[in-house]
Amino acid sequence: MISIAYLDGRRLSRAVIAGAYFVSERAEPLNKINVFPVPDGDTGSNLAATLQKIAAGIARLRERHVRRMCQALADEALGGARGNSGAILAQFFSGLCEGLPDRPRVSTRDFGAAALSAAESAYHAIARPVEGTILTVIRDWARRVSERARDVPDFAEILPDSLKEAKRSLENTPKQMKALQKAGVVDAGAQGFVYLLEGIVRYVRDAARRSLPPVPPEEVRAAVFDRTPESILFRFCTEALLEGDSIDRDALRREAALTGDSVVIAGGATRVRVHVHTNEPEKLFETLARFGEIAQTKIEDMRSQHETRFDRNRAERVGIVTDSTCDLPAAMFEELNIGMVPVRVLFGSENYLDKVTLTPAEFYARFAVTDVAPKTSQPPPADFTQVYRFVSGHHGSIVSIHLSKALSGTYQAAVVGARPIENTAFEHVNSRNASVGLGLVVRAAAEAAASGRPFAEVVGIARNAADRVKVFIAMPTLKHVVRGGRVPRGKGMLAKLLGILPVLAITPKGTAEPVARARGFDGALRKMMRLLEEAARAGDGKGSRFGVAHSDAAELAERLSREIRDRHPESDVMICECGPALGAHGGPGAVAVAVLP
């Protein structure tokens, strides 16, 4: 293992991203052991979502100043924190930032002092701290880091050693909390923090390698506890992001504690994340409004979550999974409970997870300033297994719908990834499509599943939609497809010389082929819209669904959607941004239109 004498912004960023990914792979095992503060089975999901938001936010930064990077990390954590453990983690990072000296690099001693600050800050975020939780493990880990940092100047030695102390503290949590001892598990939030440290240590140990070897999540025994929803005293997990000037966190904590329990107040004087379990969310929001402006809210019914987790209807529910080449509005993935497996995006030797550690906006910003042609690769089967394992915990069957087999090996990776999953029926659907066309197919299947349609019907709806959907694509230039090797350089030069651009379509076989040519981008757009109109006429003219996807071209997408609405006022038109996996080939300015007649 290499020696690490200092920590700067880039090293901090890479380590946290590695840790975040390690936790995300283990979300479902954490959900299984979720007992405290309520057994609603979402600690793993919440920690993973919080850390993915952090990773996505800092992945695009090139900040080498460690405190400034840590501040960015803390800001992302505060804005994206979910659940009790997510809010505590946000305050941990905030305290870590406050404890770091204002220098580009820090030593192990500096980091040890900051770790103690982070632990103290995490404790202060809680109205009624409880031992045997993530707080205890954070404190024990921080003390060990600080103790070793007095004599050891090497992060590569301190981090593995302090991980051992964190694991020892974790194993002790059932002795500190009767609920854990009775359930036969360790604390889920504390285990999540240990996973974060483990991912970081693994990254440090394997930093010399270009890619990290996969470590499959270990099998865990589910917690044993009272499975009646009525055992949950406060029904709603309620969160808010509060903004203002000089927010009095102590007064806010006292007021919030009057409305429920599991109160976490994370953040600083101008921005605060509030987490409370309560029976009166609106009353809580009224209280918060007296302290500042409410910028964000979230309410989850924990009794409903509990019922969903343990009810006897699992076998009847159908889960939907796709890959990140599926372009849909971001909110729709959550509304329709669609599982998504990210494709890999590579800028040289840097590896990102599409729409997870690299958002579309970040991708196009990076695309604009680099000469390196971005590339994509299919997810490994293990990534599908991870998502399938989570979805199968709540659904007896899964319909997995993916990018055309003719364009990628993603479909086959999904088939292989399903093999380790037991007691779950699977159907894999080759959409023979991509981007917003795949999105329309997935949306149709997800809506059918959400309405309670049986497995066979959902499969039929997905296959029928895949047969009918039509997609057309136009690009303002061929230079990106030439640079990526999709079009021979000679053909690209000739097209540029003549000012000719193609309109592409996804064929019934699932390949992308030119179906029209035009002079200039405006001409290509006109031909694309004529082809879309012809495809729409194949339906009954009513109730057709349309989609417009764009690569960093929001104004153009809005213009095209207005044109569609003018011609089809009774139809549904959705707009979304193409993810990095497809934006890498079409480049900025490309648009795709689709119709499901």
Domain limits of the chain?
A: 1-212+221-225, 229-311, 312-343+378-467, 470-596
| 3 state SS of 556 | helix
Return the sign of the alpha-carbon dihedral for residues 166, 171, 176, 177.
positive
**365 CB neighbour count, 10 Å cutoff:** 14
- For residues 459 and 401, give the distance between their C-alpha atoms in angstroms, rounded to a whole number: 10
Q: Global pTM?
A: 0.58
Token pair 């999709």 is found at 486
- For residues 411 and 429, give the distance between their C-alpha atoms in angstroms, rounded to a whole number: 8
**313 CB neighbour count, 10 Å cutoff:** 10
Question: Shortest CA distance to 347 belongs to which of 152, 182, 583?
Answer: 583
Confidence (pLDDT) at 208:
45
179 to 136, 185, 195: CA distances (angstroms): 16, 9, 22
Q: How many residues does the chain have?
A: 597
Q: How does pLDDT run along the chain (597 residues), one tens digit per residue? A: 578 999 999 999 999 999 998 998 898 889 889 888 877 778 888 899 899 889 988 887 889 999 999 999 999 999 888 888 999 999 999 999 999 999 999 999 999 999 999 999 999 888 888 999 999 999 999 999 999 999 999 999 999 999 999 999 999 999 999 989 988 999 999 999 999 999 999 988 876 444 444 555 555 555 554 455 455 788 899 999 999 989 999 999 999 999 998 899 999 889 999 999 999 888 999 999 999 999 888 888 887 766 666 555 678 889 999 999 999 998 899 889 899 998 888 877 677 788 777 777 778 777 777 777 778 889 999 889 989 988 987 899 999 999 999 999 999 999 999 999 988 999 999 999 999 999 999 999 999 999 999 999 999 999 999 999 999 999 988 766 555 555 555 555 555 555 689 899 999 999 989 999 999 999 999 999 999 999 998 876 567 899 999 998 999 999 999 999 999 988 889 999 987 766 777 788 999 999 999
| CA 505 to chain centroid | 30
Token pair 């966190």 is found at 249
171 to 125, 131, 134, 142, 204: CA distances (angstroms): 24, 13, 12, 17, 24
Residue 157's H or E segment, with its range, is helix 155-171
**207 CB neighbour count, 10 Å cutoff:** 16
Domain 1-212+221-225 matches domain 470-596 at the CATH topology level: no
The topology under which CATH files domain 1-212+221-225 is 1.25.40
Confidence (pLDDT) at 212:
45
- Rounded to a whole number of angstroms, the CA Rg of the chain reads 25
Matching CATH number, 470-596, of 1.10.10.60, 3.30.9.40, 3.30.360.10, 3.30.1180.10? 3.30.1180.10
- For residues 8 and 103, give the distance between their C-alpha atoms in angstroms, rounded to a whole number: 9
CATH number of the domain located at residue range(s) 229-311 in this protein = 3.30.70.980
425 to 320, 402, 456: CA distances (angstroms): 12, 17, 10
- For residues 45 and 41, give the distance between their C-alpha atoms in angstroms, rounded to a whole number: 8
Confidence (pLDDT) at 132:
94
Residues 585, 480 contacting (CB under 8 angstroms): yes
Residues 169, 140 contacting (CB under 8 angstroms): yes
- Tokens coding 161: 């050693």
Q: Pinpoint the alpha helices (H) of 398-542.
A: 410-417, 435-450, 455-468, 479-483, 489-498, 520-536
Residues 61, 76 contacting (CB under 8 angstroms): no
Could you give the strand order of the β-sheet that contains 260-267, starting from the edge strand earlier in sequence?
A: 260-267, 271-278, 236-243, 293-301
- Tokens coding 533: 């109109």
| CA 384 to chain centroid | 14
Confidence (pLDDT) at 339:
93
Residues 29, 52 contacting (CB under 8 angstroms): no
Token pair 């038109």 is found at 573
| 3 state SS of 410 | helix
CATH homologous superfamily, domain 312-343+378-467: Dihydroxyacetone kinase; domain 1 (3.40.50.10440)
